[in-house]
Amino acid sequence: MARMRAVDAAVLVLEKEGITNAFGVPGAAINPLYSALKARGTIRHVLARHVEGASHMAEGYTRAKAGNIGLCIGTSGPAGTDMITGLYSASADSIPILCITGQAPRARLNKEDFQAVDIASIAAPVAKWAVTVMEPYLVPMALQKAFHLMRSSRPGPVLIDLPVDVQLAEIEFDIDAYEPLCPFKPAMTRAQAEKALAMLNEAQKPLIVAGGGIINADASDLLIEFAEITGVPVIPTLMGWGAIPDDHRLMAGMCGLQTSHRYGNATMLASDFVFGIGNRWANRHTGSVDVYTKGKKFIHVDIEPTQIGRVFAPDLGVVSDAGAALKILLDVATEWRTAGKLRDWSGWAKECQQRKKTMKRKTHFEQVPLKPQRVYEEMNKAFGRDTTYVTTIGLSQIAGAQFLHVYKPRNWINCGQAGPLGWTLPAALGVRAADPDRDIVALSGDYDFQFMIEELAVGAQHKLPYIHVVVNNAYLGLIRQAQRGFSMDYEVSLAFENVNRVNDPEAGYGVDHVAVAEAMGCKAVRVKKPEEFAGAFKEAQRLMKEHQVPVVLEFILERVTNISMGTEIDKVTEFEELAESHEDAPTAIVMLD
């Protein structure tokens, strides 16, 4: 046993739980914890410019690698309220992050003290657990519970609020006697696996819907093996994209109202059986339940019992970690295949492959200003199979999901359910902090980029290089497109005549993103014409490697482009002509006007 401040014990616990990086902003009420971090010197800290940005950096850090947990730190009052969007985003996508806030002294709580707010109550709806720790010795114990909760069952975020006097109080603590708690993860039984495979065997046109739970469980290899043993095509959700490579013969495309492929929707409509693993039947994937489920039977495997039946009742529901489920399913399927007990779905798989070859959207346009689909076509050429894409919401994200290609798990890092603007930039910085070697390309529309543009300075200060593709049409493009249903175009234009852009043909686009990026200590390249693409991508990569800072790669788009989407998976509106229906048609997929 050793006598120490509660915050010194907290840092020892953080180390033992595997924390090596933190993102945050210091302040008076959290300075004791920062003094403990400084004294130990074992946890790297990245100073954000906005605490919401720090929370999204923590998200990006977690999402980048299996086993990671991002840590976000802030002071009392507004720092905690700034974290709420990050907590919501993490909670919605089953992402564990730990948020630690400072708090007024215990004697001053409920007395309207400066920056004293009941942050635990505010955070509770968007966290697995939110607590203000009122006893000093409970600080390390609260952290132990937090890590156990974050890792158990459906992962999610936790907020721990520490009054300043609790942080400073001395306790007796022995870190050598501390051990992380073993997380709880339910597992499918053999009997359940046999029941599921017996139901699958009755289907003529089955599909596997692969959700983000497979990536959370680090079980993508098991998914591919299971698909190959059974011969059943796979439809990844947006959060599960990358669990099976885009060019795998059994990757049948994504389904949905927006971030989907024409061939993915067509295959879903043609199927008669859906085996959902680690997915949540999100609305942007399903559209209306009646259309999505018509003529099909369903199995749903999820780690959280209350997810099963939440959207619609499956024919069979199994509570299990996706990795544990796939392992036993693979074992049983392998035995059945060897014994000749599994049905042959090769004809159905070939039918799905044919749709994938022929049902494409056009990407090759020569217009100036640029059409967005051409940007994504060129990105596919410029960036390799190992590229990690980071994005959040808007026409840029929807188009990216339709046209880009992803080949590995965690190479599509996307805020799925919450979709907060501004998420992309700090999340990309968190991904870089988690992995200094991978190729990272962020994708934003101009509005998403402007939301937290100040975080570029973080990338410059802390040498967190990546390429940020900004497709600039000076519009809130997705909202403008949605306003067509109201016959209006109201308060969604970002364009204005920028008086500081003398003799600049893009002055009417308003904000000069190149100038802002350079003012923040980063580098930037602007692209206006198709013939500039190849050189710009090479220049961006050169600048990033040479200067070790974020590089903004801005593409000047036509102002209005409508992207393919609809209200039902059988009613997606295509706004442009489609690619020629032959096997050599470009495999990229893009949004059309």
pLDDT digits (tens, 9 = 90+) for 523-560: 999 999 999 999 999 999 999 999 999 999 999 999 98
Q: Is residue 27 part of a domain?
A: yes
Going by C-alpha positions, the residue among 40, 49, 112, 41 that lies closest to residue 76 is 112
Q: Which of 421, 431, 551, 552 is catalytic?
A: 421
Rounded Cα gap, residues 103 and 113, in angstroms? 10
Q: Is residue 587 part of a domain?
A: no
Percent of the chain with pLDDT over 70: 97
Percent of the chain with pLDDT over 90: 86
pLDDT-based confidence at 587, cuts 50/70/90?
Answer: very low
| 216 lies in the same domain as 247 | yes
| 87 lies in the same domain as 173 | yes
| 276 lies in the same domain as 347 | yes
pLDDT digits (tens, 9 = 90+) for 86-121: 999 999 999 999 999 999 999 888 888 887 899 999
| 250 lies in the same domain as 217 | yes
| Model pTM score | 0.93
pLDDT recorded at residue 492: 87
Cis peptide before 233 (omega within 30 of 0): no
Q: Find the helix or strand (DSSP H, E) in which 441 lies.
A: strand 440-445
Per-residue pLDDT averaged across 421-428, rounded?
Answer: 96
Rounded Cα gap, residues 377 and 379, in angstroms? 5
Q: Which of 7, 11, 12, 25 is catalytic?
A: 25
Least confident range of 217-221, 428-432, 493-497: 493-497
pLDDT recorded at residue 413: 96
CATH number (domain holding residue 219):
3.40.50.1220
Is 479 considered catalytic here?
Answer: yes
Domain boundary among 358, 392, 418: 358
Rounded Cα gap, residues 152 and 147, in angstroms? 9
Q: Is residue 182 part of a domain?
A: no
pLDDT recorded at residue 146: 98
The two three-digit tokens of residue 376, written as one number: 């994504």
pLDDT recorded at residue 419: 84
| 466 lies in the same domain as 418 | yes
| 521 lies in the same domain as 444 | yes
Q: Which of 138, 269, 316, 479 is catalytic?
A: 479
pLDDT recorded at residue 112: 80
Is 25 considered catalytic here?
Answer: yes
Residue 586 has pLDDT above 70, yes or no: no
Q: Which of 69, 329, 470, 476 is catalytic?
A: 476
Rounded Cα gap, residues 534 and 242, in angstroms? 26
Residue 131 has pLDDT above 90, yes or no: yes
pLDDT recorded at residue 239: 96
The count of domains in the chain is 3
pLDDT-based confidence at 493, cuts 50/70/90?
Answer: confident
Going by C-alpha positions, the residue among 281, 185, 192, 290 that lies closest to residue 240 is 281
The two three-digit tokens of residue 138, written as one number: 């409970």
pLDDT digits (tens, 9 = 90+) for 218-250: 999 999 999 999 999 999 999 999 999 999 999
- Alpha-carbon dihedral of residues 481, 487, 491, 495, nearest 10 degrees? 60
Domain boundary among 153, 177, 201: 177
| 329 lies in the same domain as 388 | no
Residue 50 has pLDDT above 60, yes or no: yes
Going by C-alpha positions, the residue among 70, 99, 67 that lies closest to residue 410 is 67
Residue 585 has pLDDT above 80, yes or no: no
Bridge partners, residue 525, by sequence: 553
CATH number (domain holding residue 383):
3.40.50.970
pLDDT recorded at residue 593: 28
Domain boundary among 177, 209, 230: 177
| 152 lies in the same domain as 211 | no
| 528 lies in the same domain as 381 | yes
pLDDT digits (tens, 9 = 90+) for 355-376: 999 999 999 989 999 999 999 9
Let me know: does 175 contact 9? Beta carbons within 8 Å: yes
| 389 lies in the same domain as 437 | yes
| 347 lies in the same domain as 412 | no
Least confident range of 308-322, 396-410, 503-517, 538-552: 503-517
Rounded Cα gap, residues 410 and 414, in angstroms? 9
Residue 418 has pLDDT above 80, yes or no: yes
Q: Is residue 402 part of a domain?
A: yes
Q: Is residue 290 part of a domain?
A: yes
Q: How many helices, marked H, and strands, marked E, lie in the chain?
A: 24, 21
Q: Is residue 367 part of a domain?
A: no
Residue 335 has pLDDT above 60, yes or no: yes
pLDDT digits (tens, 9 = 90+) for 18-35: 999 999 999 999 999 999
Per-residue pLDDT averaged across 76-93, rounded?
Answer: 96
Q: Which residues have C-beta within 8 Å of that of residue 134, sequence separation ≥ 6?
A: 106, 163, 166
Q: Is residue 335 part of a domain?
A: yes
| 379 lies in the same domain as 339 | no
CA geometry: angle 138, 142, 144, nearest 5 deg: 120
Q: Is residue 583 part of a domain?
A: no
Mean of pLDDT over the chain:
93
Range of the domain at 486: 372-573
Is 421 considered catalytic here?
Answer: yes
pLDDT-based confidence at 275, cuts 50/70/90?
Answer: very high
pLDDT digits (tens, 9 = 90+) for 148-205: 999 999 999 999 999 999 999 999 999 999 999 999 999 999 999 999 999 999 999 9
